[in-house]
Structure 1
Amino acid sequence: MIGHVLTVESCFDLSETEKKGSIQASGNIKLVLQESLKLAKINAFKFLNEEQKQKLQNSAIHMHFTEGATPKDGPSAGTAITTALLSLVMNVVVPSNLGMTGEISLNGQVCKIGGLQQKLIAAKTLDIVDIILPYANLGEALNLPQQLIKGLNLYFVTDYRQIYELIFEQQIANNNYTINKIKNGVYETDQNGTKEQIQSTINY
């Protein structure tokens, strides 16, 4: 009933200068997670300026998934890998109390994940307050116990651009997107900078 939080680390590998533009990974990752690395690189590239693109193309990058003794597979780390890669290349620190889960597609769509309740419990045990989730999991989240949701800020997104705006531009919504949220048990939606409170409680 309790999940685990996967920490994603990234750095420029100055010892692998002959492998420019490559991303190496460690941490006992399996095939599907390796595919997520490729998708993350493609999606991250879309948000970089020309200087940052050159930096990505001319650098060897290493990404590590902690707890190497545990095999890791599945696509739900896609958004986190993309964010870790952007954080490194853009030199922007991601807050330590921020978590996310979601499969990412080739065109940046954030897809549904399984085990939502277990993942939220795991995040809460590590005092992770802000969590970005696929919009496709909103219905499931609305039926979770209030005791679990209390104290968490959940953001539901359909496209990675929304995650980019939340983290790297520090804005919740713009003219093109609506952000659905559950903040401390209250379901809200932000659209065009305005906030609408939809219901006062989720589920007791």
Structure 2
Amino acid sequence: MKHWIILLLLFLLAGLLAACGGDDTQSDAPRTGEESSEQQANKEETDQSGGTANMVNVTLMNGDEDEVGTAELIDQEDGVLFNVEASDLPEGEHGFHVHEAALCKAPEFKSAGDHFNPTDASHGTESEDGPHAGDLPNLEVGEDGTVQKEFTAENVTLEKEADNSLLAEDGTALVIHAKADDHASQPSGDAGARIACGEITEQED
């Protein structure tokens, strides 16, 4: 009789241990995986909804619709870092600006509109009420028709919902002019015709 009681107790104990082990496996491991996936999804959603593009690449084309260069724009705490490389341009100094519309229709590029100027400032760094947010340093093109220039534009951002965003609305455009910008004449620095243009828009993944 005692043997049967002992065997019964052992059987019940083994069943309880197996049940506890099964509960641990089902409740702990899968739950940890689900939490990790959920946290990752939340992180991705936050990244996607932040409204900031860390970098934008712009292709510059001339009036014949030939590619003449690129501009890499990188968002930073103190503004947007521009890295411009171009070739097949006339030698000399050329005005360089952000214009208000991401629309580069050759050959004159008037479709890009006026300078990017969301604060209604005057043109030029030499102006008492300036500059426009889209006023940039002149580009110095060498005898070989090439230019490489890096600078930071402090009055703009790539954060779409922020003030002075280059990606607000449908984007903006980069324009290279035929002559140098004198940084004072209104409304555009007497920089002459538009000889190259590139659209600044959100990049597709």
TM-score when scaled to structure 1?
0.22
More helix by share: 1
TM-score when scaled to structure 2?
0.22
The structure that has the greater radius of gyration is 2
Larger relative contact order (CA 8 Å, sep ≥ 6): 2
